[in-house]
Every structure is written in structure tokens, then in C-alpha cells.
Chains A and B, each alone.
Chain A
Amino acid sequence: MVVSERFESRVSSEVSDGGDELVIRVAGNFDFNIHRDFQRAYRNVSPAPKVFLVDLSATEHLDSAALGMLLLLRDYCVELGHEGERPRVELMNANAHVSHILHVSNFDQIFSIC
């Protein structure tokens, strides 16, 4: 009997640049199914990084739930900002389709995209 199926996590993260950056990579569909993994990737990183880099190079599609998750990350940075320096969020390496979605939703107004 299969009690639960385990998916291989599509979210990976690593600290780089001497601890100043946290790179979060999302592979495949960036959607609601990974919201726990995504939150786990950026919460409780100690010491808090100066930049959260969301690497979208392996992201094929991004939906509104993913945009919501990015807003939560942004809020988390505001929270961290109460205690010390407020970290930035940067989105990078988005493919054409994903850039289009970010552009249509005008999320490029509130996130820096590189």
C-alpha cells in the first residue's frame, strides 16, 4: 500500500558570497505545491543574508500563487528589517515566459529583476 508519495524537492538553496547572499533555486513549475519548501528555504537562515536571490533559471512556469510566495518573502525581509538591516530580494535568470509573467503582473515595480 502506498501511504504517501514523496516528491523530490524542486527548491534548493545555498549560501554564497561569504554568507551575504542566499540563492534559492526553483526548478520546473513554481506554484502552490512548493510553498512549504520555498518558505523553508528562506526562513531561519542564520545569520540573515543581505540579499535573497531567487534564481529562476530552471523555472519553466510561474503562477499567481508563486507571485504570492514572492510577496511573502518580501514581507519577511521587512520583518527582518525591524531587527537590523533590511535584506533585498532579487529575481534573476528568468526565461522569456517567466519574465513576461513578471512584467504583466508589474512585479518588476516592486522586485529588482536582473
Chain B
Amino acid sequence: MPAFRILIIESDQQESAELQQLIQQWEYKSTAESISPASTLCAPNVDAALKSFDPFPPNLVIFGPVAARETPSESVRQLRQSMGLEPVPILAVQEVQENPAEPLYLADCDDILTKPYSRSLVELKLVAIRRFGEFSRSLMAQRDRLRRHHADFLQEQANAREIFGNLGNESCLDDTPAIRYHLSPRAVLNGDLLAATYSPDGKLVLMLGDFAGHGLAAAVGAVPLTSIFYSMIPRGFSFGRVAREINRKLHDILPRQMFCCLAIMEFDPRRQHLRIMNAGMPSPCLQRGDGSLLMIESRHLPLGVLPSDHVDSAIVNVRISSGDRLFLWSDGIHEARNGRGEHFGEARLLSLLQSEWPDGEQVFERILLAVNAHAAEQHDDLSLVELDLTDPGLLRGGSLPQEVAGGRKGTPIGDWSIRFRLCHAELRQADPLPQLLSVVMQMPGAARFQEDLAIALGELFRNALEHGVLELDSSIKGMDDGFVRYYDLMAERRSQLDSGWVSISLSCLEGEAGGSLSLVVEDSGKGFSGVRDTGSVYSGRGLELLRTVCSELHYSAGSSRVEAIIRWQAEPDAKSEGATQAEYNAIQNPSVPV
């Protein structure tokens, strides 16, 4: 413990010596039971006292009887000001026989010592002052510690904010005007998270999540969430599979009371097919082109609550028609409170969507304005996403991640073939496209046909599974609620599958003039019936899509075999450059994964 320093200001040497002697006889026992003496210093006047502060910052100042009479009020104030933040009591010695009105500045002092001195009274006063001093010092120390912690905390928040910001770097949110979003600047504090990217066959996958938990904890949870999302979706994993993986991971790493509410949607702009799953988020709203609203209610527990999950039953399938828009939001909008504590609420939100419908372009801004106007104090604590589902801007080539696609465009492809056969056990759950694609994309030059292949493979596999193995009839989709029933039926039959297979083989040939990739898919089903016209085989849309990406398409009645051929012309420069040739060799040697 530092010594207790007492500064005596007294011009009369005898008086100051008497005071000093009095103080030195005093023994102070601190609360920690250690005995610590007080040290004293004498200064003849305030000026000298001010100069002594540097080596001797006092804990207590005592004006002797003569100085107490002679020092003007301003000097006492000046003294107090220069003693800094920590309170230093000032005592004045007053002689008892003196006329009490005489010292003018008593108001500037904290207390008096009376003379003749009573030793016990002086000691009592010194002990009280010293205790007070210790108390205020510990308060100051605590305050400083709090300040440091707060500064650290702000720094951590800034770090979390940066992590959060960087996590969004891979998103395709800013690539198209069809997606509009507002993410709260306080996103780090309320744990909102938005991510979007394309699958290799050109489907847009977007998720809006809300972590229960705040600040760093939420940012920590966001890291695996986004890394799973941005690594699996572009590799072609279905979003249901990705949601399962996210759930598993979050359950493994998060503390029990933390979880993530998540709305995740996959939109195929070519097939006009929206699949969406809501796990604990406020219902996203599909505003139909005709003005009606469809709420996608939460049908699933938030992710990270249970160790394993059947997300597929919570997925809603919707066929999109012209003018459809999807709105997603976090509970910040619903729970924004006005001065009377009323929530903004879903009802206000929906009436806004209904009443402003003719002026569709403005709805996004109006929601934000209305919520901000409603929530007098609590600004910007909300996330809002609007997707114009029929905007052609959503039609975009999917692309594999850089490290997979590599800049291998232009290098020769070579001759190779692979064959896969999936049995009923795999077909219940399996998502064969990502594995197939990842193998194929290792091939040099694969970037040239990857999107076409992803689309063709997806269509043919779906056809084999849905119509061949599961014997689903596309005409169901034509009925009123058929679209939804079709997918419910598919999930049901798939989960009960106990026989059947799908085989997929790919072979690639390349010559001087160009190359071709042949894709053959067969299944255990009855095959195409002769009666059905081609339109119903792929329910129209699928066939159209296949024709656009494939050069040839062969199938025949009575057989389940479908062959699709993708052709390309040789690029004249491909082989002439030495560097390319070297790269070709380098890549070709290790990469025979089959």
C-alpha cells in the first residue's frame, strides 16, 4: 500500500513542526491490518505547495493556523484544481478562541481541525479521511478497469463486425438488382446474417438467419454457418442437405442456449420453382403477381437445437408466376416498438404489402420508412430482403468456386469415362450431383461445359428418380394443389424406398475439331411408355431446358435409357501455347480420380 502523504501548508515554522509531530505519532492500521505510517511535507505557502506536487502528490492537505488565516480563497481553489481528479480533502486548523467568522475561505475547505489539538480527535479525523481516500482510490481503479474493459469490448465488437462483413464477401447479393436488402448496421449486435450464392446449375440460394445470442458469440456461430453455405452450395449440394449440415455443426459447437433461426430458400429461375424452408424466422411473405400474399410459416425448430433433423419435411415448394416477389425479414421489424411499447407487428407489415401493391417498386422503402417512423428510438435494428423472382437478372450462369474450376478453360479435355450406380439405400438420401460434379470438374477444361453438364445431369437424374424409380406422375403437378402434393409424395416415397437403382455414366471424347460429352442415365423403372408424348416426360419445362443445353437427346419408348450429348468446338489457341501445354501436363498427371 502506498504511504499516506500529508502536505502541511504553514508559514509559521513552529506551528508546522507541531502539526508534523502530531501526525507522526499517529499509527494507522489499514483494513488489510498492515501498519503504514503517514509521510509529511511542509510548505510555507500555496505557491511552494504547488511546486511540491510533482515529487509529493498529497492525499491530504492541512492549512496550519496562520496559513488558514492568511491564504486567500482563490489560492485554495487553485490548489484544489491542480490536484487532479482524485478527491484530496483540505483541512484548515482553527484556533478555538478565535472569532469563528474570521477565516474567509472556510467554504473552500472540507473540514477543520481545532487548536489546541486533541490528539484523539485529530487521529479520528485522519483515519476517517484516509479510509475515504482508500475508498475513492479503489473506485477510481474500478472505473479505470471498466473503461479498459469497455474499450476492449468495443474493439471486439469492431472485430466481430469486420468478421461479419468479410463473411459476406462471397455473396452474390450485389450482383443483381433483383435482390434488394437492408441489413441493420447493428447486425453484429442482434446476430442477423444474410448470405446468397448460386448453385452450379444456376439456382439462387439465399438465407437469412438470426442468432439467439449477441455480439461475438453470434459472430462465432456465423463463421461455420457461412463457410458451410459458401462451400457446399456452389458445389451443387441441395439446400436441404446444406441445412442439415448447418444444423449438425451448430448443434456441435454452440452452447446449449444458443441456436440460429434461419429462413433458407432455393430458387430455380429456369424452372420457376421456389423451395423454401423456415426454421423459426418470422414468416417470409410471397407477394403474388395477383396481389395475394402467401406466408411461409415456420415448420421447423431453429437450427442447432436438435442433433439431427429431417429438414426435408419442412420444405415448402411453390411454383412462381409472373410478378411474384419474396420478402424475408428478421424479427427486428416485427418487434420494433413505438413510444407506447407497441410492436410494429405482422399485421401492419402485411397491410403495408397489400395497400401499396400497385406501386410495387416502392414497397421496400415504404416498409423501412414505416418501421423507422414507428420505432421512435430504436432505429436500424432490422433486416429486410426483397427478391423480384421474375427479374431476368436472376438468370445467371452458376459457377464453381475458383479453386475447383481453376482457370482451366481452354486446356484440352482428353478422353475419359466414368460410371456411377446408385442403389435404393443411396437414393433415399443421396445427393449424387455434388460428388459427380466435383469429380468431373477436376478434369482439365471442365469449365467449358460445367454449367450445361450440371443442368443436364440434374434434369436426367431427377427424371430417373422421380418418374423411373419413384413412379411419380408429372400430371399431378397440373392439379390445383398438385405442385405441393407432388413434392410431398416424392419425399414420402423416397423415404420408404426399398428397391430400385439409377445408373449414370459419362464419357468424353475430344478430337482436333472439338469434343463431345455423352451422358447416359438409366433407372430400374418401367421406362418411357410409348403412349406418352414427349411433353409429359419432362413436364415440358425439363425437356425444354435439356434441349437448350444439349446438342442431342435420345430416348425411346419401353426403355429407361436417356442419352444426352453436349458438343463443343475446339478453341484454336488451346494447344498452340507452350504454357498451356505445360499446365495441361501438370494437371493431367495427378488427376485421374476414377
Contacts and interface: CB of A to CB of B under 8 A. Distances in A.
A102 to B, nearest CB: 11
A46 interface: no
Interface in B40-72: none
Contacts, number: 49
A109 B310 CA distance: 13
Given A105-B301, A106-B301, A110-B305, A68 B259 contact: yes
Interface in A52-97: 64-65, 67-69, 71-72, 75
Interface string B260-275: 0100000000000000
A42 B42 CA distance: 63
Interface stretch (B144-152, B292-300, B365-373, B447-455): B292-300
A105 B298 contact: yes
Interface string B273-303: 0000001111100000000000001111110
Contact of B256 (A72, A107, A110): A72
Given A107-B301, A110-B305, A71 B256 contact: yes
B210 interface: yes
A105 B256 contact: no
B257 A105 contact: no
B300 A106 contact: yes
B61 to A, nearest CB: 23
A104 interface: yes
Contacts of B302: 67, 105-106
A71 B257 contact: yes
A107 B299 CA distance: 10
* Interface core residue of A72, A103, A104, A109 (most chain B CB under 10 Å): A104
Contacts of B297: 104
> At the interface, is chain A mostly helix, strand, loop or mixed?
helix
Contacts of B305: 71, 110
* Interface core residue of B210, B280, B297, B300 (most chain A CB under 10 Å): B280
A110 to B, nearest CB: 7
Nearest to B211: A64
A25 B297 CA distance: 29
Interface string B194-227: 0000000000000000101100000000000000
A69 B213 CA distance: 11
Contacts of B283: 104
A97 to B, nearest CB: 8
Contact of B299 (A64, A67, A106): A106
A71 B259 contact: yes
Contacts of A106: 279-280, 298-302
Contacts of B213: 64-65, 68
B306 interface: yes
Interface residues of B, number: 21
Contacts of B279: 106
Given A65-B212, A110-B306, A104 B298 contact: yes
B132 to A, nearest CB: 12
A65 to B, nearest CB: 6
B258 interface: yes
* Interface core residue of A68, A75, A109, A110 (most chain B CB under 10 Å): A68
A109 B301 contact: yes
A18 B200 CA distance: 63
A64 B261 contact: yes
A103 B299 CA distance: 9
A75 B212 CA distance: 17
Nearest to B258: A68
Contacts of B306: 110
Interface in B498-550: none
A74 to B, nearest CB: 8
A5 to B, nearest CB: 16
A105 B258 CA distance: 13
B212 A68 contact: yes
Nearest to A107: B301
Contact of A75 (B256, B282, B300, B301): B256
A65 B217 CA distance: 13
Contacts of A75: 256
B212 A67 contact: yes
A69 B306 CA distance: 15
Nearest to B279: A106
Contacts of B299: 106
A104 B346 CA distance: 12
Contacts of A103: 298
Contacts of A110: 301, 305-306
B404 to A, nearest CB: 36
A104 to B, nearest CB: 5
A65 B213 CA distance: 7
Nearest to B345: A97
Nearest to A108: B301
Contacts of B261: 64, 105
A109 B257 CA distance: 17
A109 B210 CA distance: 20
Contacts of A105: 261, 280, 298, 301-302
A110 B307 CA distance: 13
A65 B335 CA distance: 15
A82 B279 CA distance: 30
* Interface core residue of A64, A68, A69, A110 (most chain B CB under 10 Å): A64
Nearest to A64: B212
A71 B302 CA distance: 12
11 contacts: A64-B212, A64-B213, A65-B212, A68-B257, A71-B257, A71-B259, A104-B281, A104-B297, A106-B298, A106-B299, A106-B302
Interface of A: 64-65, 67-69, 71-72, 75, 103-107, 109-110
Given A64-B261, A106-B298, 20 more contacts: A64-B212, A65-B213, A65-B257, A67-B212, A67-B259, A68-B256, A69-B257, A71-B257, A72-B256, A75-B256, A103-B298, A104-B282, A104-B283, A104-B298, A105-B298, A105-B301, A106-B280, A106-B301, A110-B305, A110-B306
The 4 closest A-B pairs by CB, nearest first: A68-B257, A64-B212, A105-B280, A106-B301
